[in-house]
Amino acid sequence: MDKLRVGIIGLGFIGTAKHLPGLAANADLCDVVAFCDLELDRAEQARETFGSADAYTTTEYQRLVDDPSIDVIHVCTWNISHAEITIAALEAGKHVMCEKPMAITGAEARAMLEASRRTGKKLTIGYQYRLRDDAQFLRAAVDKGELGEIYMAQAHAVRRRGVPIWGVFTDKSKQGGGPLIDLGTHALDLTLWYMGNHEVESVTGTVFHKLGDKPEGNMAGPWDPATYTVEDSAFGFVKMKNGATVYLEAAWALNVKNSREACVTLMGTDGGADIEMKGGDYQVTLNSVLGNQLVTTAPEAGAGYFGSGGKTVSGFEKMGTLEARQWLRAILDDTDPLVLAEQACVVTEVLDAIYRSAESGQPVYFD
């Protein structure tokens, strides 16, 4: 097979700003042949910009699922429909890239994973932040053993006032939750990936609905409190089966001085690491002991390690291009994609457990 035929379902921001530019940048590997959205005009506009000569549009995702000429489907819809569409596509013989979060419950995520295993079709989830330059730098340091055993970590996904007022982000019926499922999912994925540990023993969570009626100062402008049905912040304590622990914080609105989104703090036996946001971009530092002195090291500014953080759209597109290429190559070469469905499933299970623990007031124990 020389080129893959790709269909995309859901043409909101993530579909048109990340997935389609990423696929277009890899035109040597694929053609985008089908565009599906509940708003047909959005599908038509995307087809005109990114579609192949024979591309078509539709408002019915089942048409893409039933199309025998399509090899790959990208699912970029509301969170509530990720599992339904993904499972249908897998069972129809398609490989699936599903945007994060994998699903809104652990049970749905496990059903998606089982469908991938049963059908033999590849499934990956859109955790593109693994491909940031700073994230890759830290991954290399971890792989070299510079941190030793990472036994404590913090996953940061906090905005001071950054509630998204577009789309359906604040609608629990469509998204399944707020900042925990939207932002926390990225931070937790990065943290567990660095730790190399997806064996969870228990999760304890707290969820707050304190600032949903206080839209003042929001970066994107005010929202309508009457339509705000999700949490404004959530926190979780995760204990792994080997005794390691993870603290996760996620917020769209929280009275803190500094925002810290898709960032991590790692603490190991030989050293530690931090990814922070400075000047609108991501920066990584390593800390250790050398010559009986405390030492902090970082890549040199301008040395090519940064520039793909949250400051510019071009950085987002760069990650989308890299994400699409490794995914398409994994299909063509029959190798594993960067993000394994098994790993993404654990992330969703933990997020689900935080919500359930907060509701019951009790820890959630994993089998």
pLDDT tens digits, 96-125: 999 999 999 999 999 999 999 999 999 999
Domain of 68, CATH number, reads 3.40.50.720
- Does the structure show a pLDDT above 90 at 316? no
CA distance 350 to 345: 9
pLDDT number for residue 309? 42
129, 145, 179 - which closes a domain:
129
Is residue 339, in this structure, part of any structural domain at all?
no
Residue 153 lies in a domain: yes
Residue 353 forms part of a structural domain = yes
Residue 260, domain extent? 132-319+347-365
The verdict on 95 and 192 lying in the same domain is no
Mean pLDDT, range 302-322, rounded to an integer: 60
Last residue of a domain, one of 129, 160, 194: 129
Mark whether 352 and 244 lie in a shared domain. Answer: yes
Mean pLDDT of the chain: 94
pLDDT single digits (tens) 187-237: 999 999 999 999 999 999 999 999 999 999 999 999 999 999 999 999 999
Domain presence at residue 334: no
Per-residue exposure over 85-122, b if at least 16 CB sit within 10 Å of its own CB, e if not: bbbbbbebebbbbbbbbbbbbbebbbbbbebbeebebb
Q: Are both 95 and 178 inside the same structural domain?
A: no
Question: Per-residue pLDDT tens for 341-355?
Answer: 999 999 999 999 999
Predicted local distance difference test score (pLDDT) of residue 279: 78
- Output the pLDDT for position 1: 67
Please write the tens of the pLDDT for every residue from 38-93.
999 999 999 999 999 999 999 999 999 999 999 999 999 999 999 999 999 999 99
Model confidence pLDDT, tens digit, residues 198-207: 999 999 999 9
Residue labelled with tokens 């009626």: 213
Q: What band does 315 get if pLDDT is binned at 50, 70 and 90?
A: confident
Domain boundary among 87, 107, 129: 129
Q: How many domains does the chain have?
A: 2
